[in-house]
A and B are shown apart, each in its own frame.
Chain A
Amino acid sequence: MTVYESDLPGVGKKHEIELGDGARLVIVTHNTGKREVFRRESADSDSEKLFELDDELARQVGTLLEGAYFQPVQSTDIETLLGDNTLLEWVEVGADSDVAGKTLGASDLRQATGASVIAIERGDEVITSPGGDAMIEAGDTLVVIGPRAACRDFVALVTGA
């Protein structure tokens, strides 16, 4: 995929994305924050405006498009990519999970998978940097960081999948 960027002095910036069939998606980002999105069917045709969004809405829509809330293809868990291969992942502990009711130390999750638990979300409460004696309960959400493969193993271990 090729993205073309050009300056629009006094207006903002323009990005054009090739859609593969000769058409291009054109995004004009105004200095005011407004985004206008156009589609240009071919090099000779005029751009048709599809929609415009203000700055805040554009960011929200952008996050959705990025798949931060829902990734139907890869996994149903929330994950965020840090760098090339490191994931930040939220893993829910089911009632039938093997680790429910164990302490973090006893569950031996880090030794087994290579991914570390950096926080435990329990209802409204968040335990940050939990120690080895922190208890994992059913219904907790573990915030995990680690390489992609380690995170996958971690999810498999906790959810029993």
Chain B
Amino acid sequence: MAAELLEFGYLFVVLAVTGAIALRLGLSVIPLYVVGGVVVGPYVAGRFGLPYVADSEVVTLLAELGIVLLLFFLGLEFSLDRLRAARSNIGRAGAIDLLVNLPLGVVIGLALGWSVVEAFLLGGIVYISSSAIVTKTLIDLGWIADPESEPILGTLVFEDLAIAVYLAAVTSLVLGGEGGLVAIGRSLAIAFGFLGLLLVLVQYGTSLFTRVLDVENQEAFVLRALAVVVPVAGAALALGVSEAVAAFFVGMGFSTSGHRETIERRLTSVRDVFAAIFFFWIGLGTDPTLLAAVVVPLVIAVVLTAPAKVVSGYLGGRVYDLSTHRSLRVGVGLVPRGEFSLVIAALAASGSTQVMREVIPAFAVGYVLVMSALGTVLMQRSDLVERLVFRGGSAKTES
């Protein structure tokens, strides 16, 4: 027991230190937690005979809670009404974003000789922008007050919904993918059946969700919220359904209960702890030598998908009637990828093929490290990007 507790102490020290470095450098904490995990994990510290944190079942379980809570919060912030209210703009900008970036990732995967499911996983990883990194950078740079923040945040809302549907489908494909078409069909049916039931409950069970959390005591409140979301997520996973999507729906249920702000206030620190462990755990499972093996797909993906996001975001900005200069910023603002790409990678790691278990997770880690840094830097130096893009094209500079 003492050894395990010490190992956890080690884990938290590393998270605290990497978090402090991120704050100091003004970077997102996500890539730094991952790097921290890689460095003190079995593949680096372990290989050099230094004390290391093992990729144990306990860490895996806590990381799993991190995924559940990340998606729970996403559902909490997600509102169907909001999507409906801004339907036309968000829908069009979001559809452009989806139709450009997801297929591009799938094509890259197929071109690498991967199977359809593997390519589809890659598509998801390169499609989904990082809500956490993008939102933080918007606030840091003050873009939040400018018109470009609306299409950027609107597109993120659309992506949230898209990723829920995507995860639901892909989880079934990955977990039930071995028994041929019938098995896939059955697991898809179970997934959408379970999630459909959950969605109905969420839509009509507002009073139930309200009553569950009607308690003054802080501790009871936090425990009750966890006592709803964790068992539902667990039941989903037991059925081979995406636990992340189940958590997302439970979050949606709570979002209309009138307790949304209280949940956010009281559970944010809980989520942050487990999410940090999740990013760290992703690092633990990453063998840097495997990163070397995915350099080629990585370079291809970065070179193709970074400009693709800029283009789709630019078009999204034009949907909102923004000037060319602001639309370009929308594109640049959506480049960072982060937490959800890693959630997809974690899902891929439970797959059956070697590509899913080793190549895709290593690829995703490398991709997120590059894109989170590249995206943030592009946003900070967007003036240079603008000059670069608009220098020659006289036709495009007219807004």
A binding-site residues for B, Cβ under 8 Å: 6-11, 14, 26, 28, 30-31, 36, 38, 40, 44, 46-49
Whether A9 touches B156, Cβ cut-off 8 Å, given contacts A31-B261, A31-B264, is: yes
Binary A-proximity of B130-171 (CB < 8 A = 1, otherwise 0): 010001001100101110011001101100000000000000
**B residues near A7, Cβ cutoff 8 Å:** 82, 86
Within 8 Å by CB of B157, from A9, A30, A38, lies A9
Binary A-proximity of B357-376 (CB < 8 A = 1, otherwise 0): 00000000000000000000
**A residues near B149, Cβ cutoff 8 Å:** 8, 11, 14
**B residues near A10, Cβ cutoff 8 Å:** 77, 131, 135, 153, 156
Q: How far is the CA of A52 from the CA of B135 in the complex (A)?
A: 17
Please state if A8 and B144 are interface contacts (CB–CB under 8 Å).
Answer: yes
B interface: dominant SS: helix
Within 8 Å by CB of A47, from B86, B131, B145, B157, lies B145
Binary A-proximity of B254-286 (CB < 8 A = 1, otherwise 0): 000000010010000000000000000000000
Please state if A9 and B154 are interface contacts (CB–CB under 8 Å).
Answer: yes
Please state if A9 and B323 are interface contacts (CB–CB under 8 Å).
Answer: no
Q: How far is the CA of A102 from the CA of B108 in the complex (A)?
A: 92
**A residues near B135, Cβ cutoff 8 Å:** 10-11
Q: How large is the interface on B (under 10, 10 to 19, 20 to 34, 35 or more residues)?
A: 20 to 34
**A residues near B150, Cβ cutoff 8 Å:** 6, 8
Please state if B323 and A14 are interface contacts (CB–CB under 8 Å).
Answer: no
Binary A-proximity of B73-92 (CB < 8 A = 1, otherwise 0): 00001110010001000000
B binding-site residues for A, Cβ under 8 Å: 77-79, 82, 86, 131, 135, 138-139, 142, 144-146, 149-150, 153-154, 156-157, 261, 264, 323, 325
Q: How far is the CA of A49 from the CA of B139 in the complex (A)?
A: 11
Q: How far is the CA of A8 from the CA of B153 in the complex (A)?
A: 7
Please state if A49 and B154 are interface contacts (CB–CB under 8 Å).
Answer: no
| 3 shortest interchain CB distances as A-B pairs | A47-B145, A38-B145, A26-B145
Q: How far is the CA of A32 from the CA of B345 in the complex (A)?
A: 31
Closest A residue to B142 using CB positions: A49
Closest A residue to B149 using CB positions: A8
> Could you list some 8 contacts between A and B, CB below 8 A?
A9-B157, A10-B77, A26-B145, A28-B144, A30-B139, A47-B142, A47-B146, A48-B142
Within 8 Å by CB of B145, from A9, A31, A40, lies A40
Please state if B82 and A9 are interface contacts (CB–CB under 8 Å).
Answer: yes
Within 8 Å by CB of A11, from B79, B153, B261, lies B153
**B residues near A26, Cβ cutoff 8 Å:** 145
Question: In the complex, what's the smallest C-beta–C-beta distance from A12 to chain B, in angstroms?
Answer: 9
